[in-house]
Amino acid sequence: MEEMLHSILTTKPSKDYELLDSGWEEKLERYGNIVLARPDPQALWEKRLGDEEWKRADAWYERKAKGGDWHFKKIVSPNTRPSSTQDMSVSASQIGRNTEQSVFLPKEWQIELGGLNFIIRPTSFKHTGLFPEQVPNWQWVQQKLAESSEQKAVKVLNLFAYTGGATLAAAKAGAQVTHVDASKTAIEWAKANAKLSGLNEKPIRWVTEDVMKFVEREVKRKNTYDAIIMDPPAFGHGPKDELWKIEENFLMLMKLCKALLSDKPIFILVSGYAAGYSSLAFAHNLESIIEKNGGGVEVGELTIEESSSGRLLPAGIFARWSN
């Protein structure tokens, strides 16, 4: 196998997203006009900004035994950063409801990132519905699709597709996308993001199903794809409580995905946030594709740049093959 290219991909501050600071296993982020503070185990260092800056967060997340709670300051409008110092603690299920004090808490709001529009919605598991570190991968996907010599629409399969960042990036670049996720909520969220981005009329097939079952069926049907994207979690459940464990299922998934590649594949992109694994673990699964189709592999880390210092917050790993 030829030498792999090792890279650190970085999402930089933009109009609607900014990593303000990080440290002590927390991160301070701005989504549009709203600033959130939430846990991040990768931030094993000192904070650069003082306590006063962190206390200005409009909402912060507190871990609990099961899930956690968001604590919100008084919000006047979902698109206007609040100035009130009144604080109210609520569970995630209460977000967006009027309280006894008639305090408005934003259930969701919209931002633009990477040329796409997204709904931000804080969840009980600290997530916001968006992984900003993936922006460089979206840009790479669009570049590879633009470089493709295919005369027909390129068929892209996006697995563990969540709220659709990579799906929308590929669709915007002209691809025909199959978007697969086990969560009906995530699928509906992705559809809403597609509509916001003006892509709801693009050829996107939305599939709510266990990824392994879907891929196995596609292999049996002898369907093929020109490009495959996946962001497998370390652990998860399918819609019928199917169990996914990356250490038990990833190798078989990769084997099946290779069988789904067309005669002239364009790329495979694998990313993740699986603690304990190196990007090389993903990359070595792509060696047989190089042997058959040529091309090369790039591996490395996904990071987000702090606007206050330029420091990089590790946010995941990736490996990507292209011809």
Residues 144, 148, 150, 156: what is their CA dihedral angle, to the nearest 10 degrees? Answer: 0
* Burial label, 65 (beta-carbon count in 10 A; 0-12, 13-18, 19+): exposed
Phi, psi of 247 (to 5 degrees): -70, -20
Closest to 255 in 3D by CA, of 216, 294, 290: 216
Indicate the pLDDT class of residue 151, thresholds 50, 70 and 90.
confident
Q: Taking residues 265-290, what's their average pLDDT?
A: 92
Confidence of residue 98 (pLDDT cuts 50, 70, 90): very low
Q: What was the pLDDT predicted at 100? A: 41
The 10s digit of each residue's pLDDT in 9-34 is: 999 999 999 999 999 999 999 999 99
Given a cut of 60, whether residue 271 has pLDDT beyond it is yes
Tokens 């199903």 appear where?
Answer: 209
| 90 pLDDT above the threshold of 50 | no
pLDDT band at 200 (very low <50, low <70, confident <90, very high): very high
CB 130 within 8 A of CB 120: yes
Mean pLDDT of 265-291: 92
Taking all residues of the chain, what is their mean pLDDT, rounded to a whole number? Answer: 89
Q: Quote the DSSP letter at residue 137.
A: H
For residues 125 and 185, the answer to whether their CB atoms sit within 8 Å is no
Give the integer Cα–Cα distance in Å for 235 and 301.
20
Of 33-37, 97-101, 263-267, the range with the lowest mean pLDDT is 97-101
User: What is the per-residue pLDDT across 104-133, written as a single tens digit (0 to 9) for each?
Assistant: 556 899 999 999 999 999 988 899 999 999
Which positions ≥6 away from 287 have C-beta within 8 Å?
1, 297
Q: Is residue 92 predicted with pLDDT exceeding 80?
A: no
**What single letter denotes the amino acid at residue 76?**
V
73 vs 106, more confident = 73
Domains with residue ranges and CATH for the chain: 10-120 (2.60.40.1180), 130-322 (3.40.50.150)
Reported as type and span, the H/E element at residue 201 is: none
The pTM assigned to this predicted structure is 0.90
